[in-house]
Structure formats: C-alpha cells, structure tokens
Chain A
C-alpha cells in the first residue's frame, strides 16, 4: 500500500497564502505567517483567553473573531458569522479576513468595550500595567471613551494565599488560570464559581493554593487579577530591568527572567515567547524564594521589543550607536602636520621674518584686489 503523506491545506489569510497541516487552527496559521515574516505580526488576531501551552483554552473572550470569506475550496460559501480563530480549524482553500475586513475591526471594538465594562481601570495602581494584555488590546482596538454609566461589579476581598494576590474586579474570566491549575499542577484547587455576571475565580472552598506550580497562574493571567504578592507595589514594570537567568532546579526547567531594581531582584517570572505565552512553567521555589543574584546564572539582558514600555529609559550599550563612520572617515583623511621649519629663538631673525611675512601678505591681498 502506498504511504499517504499528510496533505497540506492551503489557506489565504488577509491575502497571504500559507500551507498548514490539517487540524491547525486559523490563529496558528496566522502565527505561522508572522513567524515566517516579522513584518506581518500585525495581522495576527489578538488573543485574550487562548493560550497555546494550555490545551482546550480559547474560545471565550471573542477577541480573535475573524471573517471566513470562503469556507473551503469545495464549499465556497462564506461562514455566516464571525468565527473565533483560536478554535476554528482550517479547511483546504479557506479564505480568512482579519485586518482587511471592516466588520471584524468593528466587532473587535465592541469586544473591547464589553471587556472594559466591568474592568475597574485602576491601571495606575495595578502591578500588571505595562505588561497587561488587556491594555495592549484596548490600546490597539478600543476607543478612549466609555459609554458605560452603571456601577461596575465588586467582590468581597479574598485572600488566596501568601504568594498570589487576587483582584477579582480586574478579572475578565478567560479561564486560563483554571486550565493552568487543571493541567500544570497535579491537583486542581481553584475554579470559577457562580454564573454570568456574578461568576468569579476562587479557590475551592477558600483553600489556599499551596501547590508547587501554582505561581504560574500569575504569568498566565492576561490582566492584573492574579499578581505576585511578593512583588506588590514594589516597582512599576517599566522601571525594573529584566535579565535572563537559569538555575538547576529539580522541579522545573529553571529558565526565568529576573526583574531587577538596582542590584536587587524584586521579581522572578517565567519566560514568555513572542505571543506572550509561557512555554516552560516554573516552580514556586524558583519564583518566590530564589530572590538573590547568587542563586542564578545570568545570561544577559532580556530582549524587549522597542515598542514595549519596558524598554523605556534603558540604554543598552550594544544598541547605542557609536560614531563609527565619523571615526573611520577621520582616520582615512588624517594628515600629519608637515612642519620642518627651524625653531627660531633669535629676536632679530623673528622680527625680520615677520616683516617679510607681512610684505608677502600685503602683496597677496593686492594681487587679489587687482583680479
């Protein structure tokens, strides 16, 4: 029997053709385009709840809605409604419109407005500000004004342990932390209680989270609902200096980012990829207890996008332009001063020379005038 090669599906995303394996979602196809061509990063739909390392996540926030203008090569009808790109699988010959479709952009504006209805907008106080997905999303797709006049929902303050601070008012119910607790940690300890407007993230019957990997819910949270208690109000994200580091850890990969204020490590987080996702989760020991430089092997400054506020006021010596060209030019055009005249100290000779020089100068200026 002939071995059948998995047939590749050809799809068109915003006019760019890409071949992907069957079973890929539209979101992943878009990310594939962006990974091949850095200039196309802006076409990738935003994701608030979808998190690739957490299977089954996605499909909740509706931030990634796209228009499918042609279902497949066989069935060329468009899909009647906008579809969430993070959970919709591609078909051969599918044509997807994201940034090229007005309706999609309009819908996204609505999504931002809905997400911000109950968000307290306390960014000046929030520790997530500066690395917040919702900030980026609202900045890129939302409007600067709100039409919402009613009271925002409030919750009773809940203490969920010594390491993690829960601000339920900021939560957008993306369920990422629930999936993390489900899949990364070996016993699930928190979930979503109640329904609809009243639903809230909570540890099951107020149990504190004391799992070895529970700290990862901080990194996974797209907003400031779950933040690091040991980092609370220590510093703003953009004033701290991220530095890649690793250590030998028997529980996790040990690959982290250390956030410095001066010489002091004020926070440890896992490393995030281009899409803001943590691929290698880290354990609580690394995150909360190893806060000395001596615990780590430093690898150098973390690469931060120029567009990120985290890069503000940081001048990396390898990025500062040196006056190379000017120095090279000066080197090629440098001439030694040729002065072989005798060194004269005798007063009479000097006077004589000066009179001679004066005469020469007068002669020259006369010549110039006559010309």
Chain B
C-alpha cells in the first residue's frame, strides 16, 4: 500500500574509485566546516549585542515634544479609546498664562499614565494620535519589572528628554515601506534619523 507519492527508490549502485578512496571525501567535508569558521555569523550574542529591529518596531511609549520643547499631547483621549487593552489613562488640564512654552495647545495632559502590564504594544495609540504626540520607541523595550510600583508609567518616564531627543528613520509605516523599497533598489544606503515632522 502506498500512502504518499513522496517515497523514493533507493539505488544501490557501486561506488566510484574516488568515493572508495575515502580520504578526498573527508577533506571535502572538513573544508566545508572550516569555511564556516570564517563566514559571517547568523547569530548574535543577544543581551550584549542587540539587533536593529527597523524604524517602526513597537517598543516602549514616548510622549513627544515639538521643536521648541512644548508637549504635543492635548489629552484628547483618542489613544485611550483606541487602546484595546485599556492601558492608557489621562487627566486633562487647562494651560495657564506663562505656560505657553511648556504646552502646545490650551489643553494638556496633567497626568498621562500607561499601564505597561496591560499594554500589548499594538501601536493603535500611535495610529490614533492626531497630534503626533505618542509613539512607541523602536530602540527601547520596557524593562523587566521587579516590583508592582514600576508597572504604571507616568509622565516622568514617558515625556521626551530634550537633551536626548528621540529620532527615527521613518515615522510612519508608509515611510518605512518606501524606505525599504528604496534600500532594496539600492537608491539609498544610509538615512540619518530625524525628529518627528
């Protein structure tokens, strides 16, 4: 009875002289092994070396500021309502006189919290944001928690540091795709990351 048509007839033909000599085959085999010593390694030594995950990888959240250092977020709540895990919560406040250099619009998020245990890093908040304020960093993960207190991230951890601004090669999926295509065609080789447009 034949179950599949993948069975192969085994040939039992006589070996040639070279094959019977045995040593040339050993040498060929060793040659292949030695060749791999000098080839580029496929693996990386993970915790010390990290692989580049592309410009739109979804790591930890960041609340962007604009070029003047004003916070972009206006606490519109679209990220929170888009969030399937209900990880985001916020409290809005009205900007007062003299705070114009801190916040972009007349309303701002006084409290902005992301529960990192709830977050599933789907990036829907990033997509929903009408002010280009919330992004998921492509270069940083959420570190491992050792305590429940570290789970809810407030504005102290989320807001961008102006001395160390967060830059990316591409800010949207479409840009990233276009960049990929260009790279594949060899049109560009190196792109300098830039702050959010």
Contact = CB atoms under 8 A, between A and B. Distances in A.
Interface of A: 122-125, 129, 232-236, 238-239, 309, 312-313
A330 B81 CA distance: 38
Given A232-B94, A233-B94, A236-B76, A125 B105 contact: yes
Interface string B72-113: 001111101100001000001110000000000111000000
A234 B110 CA distance: 11
Given A232-B94, A233-B93, A233-B94, A238 B81 contact: yes
Given A233-B93, A313-B86, A124 B81 contact: no
A309 B82 CA distance: 10
A89 B130 CA distance: 43
Contact of B92 (A235, A309, A312): A235
A194 to B, nearest CB: 25
Contacts of A309: 81
Contact of A123 (B76, B80, B92): B76
Nearest to A125: B107
12 contacts: A122-B105, A124-B76, A124-B105, A124-B130, A124-B131, A125-B74, A125-B105, A232-B94, A234-B92, A238-B77, A239-B80, A313-B81
Contacts of A236: 76-77, 81, 92
Contact of A124 (B74, B86, B93, B94): B74
A312 B88 CA distance: 14
Interface residues of B, number: 16
A239 B78 CA distance: 10
Contacts of B105: 122, 124-125
Nearest to A236: B77
Nearest to A309: B81
Given A235-B92, A313-B86, 6 more contacts: A123-B130, A125-B105, A232-B94, A238-B81, A312-B81, A313-B81
Interface string B59-80: 0000000000000001111101
Given A124-B131, A232-B94, A129 B76 contact: yes
B130 to A, nearest CB: 5
Contacts of A122: 105
A2 to B, nearest CB: 62
Contacts of B80: 239
Nearest to B92: A233
A129 B81 CA distance: 13
Contact of B107 (A233, A239, A312, A313): A233
B78 to A, nearest CB: 7
Contacts of A234: 92
Contacts of A313: 81, 86
B130 A239 contact: no
A362 B130 CA distance: 71
B149 to A, nearest CB: 22
Contacts of A129: 76
Contacts of B106: 125
A62 B63 CA distance: 41
B152 to A, nearest CB: 17
A313 B86 CA distance: 8
Among A122, A123, A124, which residue has the most Cβ atoms of chain B within 10 A? A124
Contacts of A125: 74, 76, 105-107
A233 B76 CA distance: 9
Nearest to A238: B81
B100 to A, nearest CB: 15
Nearest to B105: A125
A291 B80 CA distance: 26
A232 B93 CA distance: 9
A124 B92 contact: no
Nearest to A129: B76
Contact of B78 (A124, A232, A235): A124
Contacts of B81: 236, 238-239, 309, 312-313
Contacts of B78: 124
Contacts of B94: 232-233
B94 to A, nearest CB: 5
Contacts of B130: 123-124
Contacts of B74: 124-125
B127 to A, nearest CB: 15
A233 B77 CA distance: 11
Contacts of A124: 74, 76, 78, 105, 107, 130-131
A132 to B, nearest CB: 13
A232 B80 CA distance: 19
Top 9 closest A-B pairs, CB basis?
A124-B76, A236-B77, A233-B92, A124-B74, A125-B107, A312-B81, A233-B94, A233-B107, A124-B130
Nearest to B93: A233
Contacts of B107: 124-125, 233
A175 to B, nearest CB: 27
Nearest to A127: B107
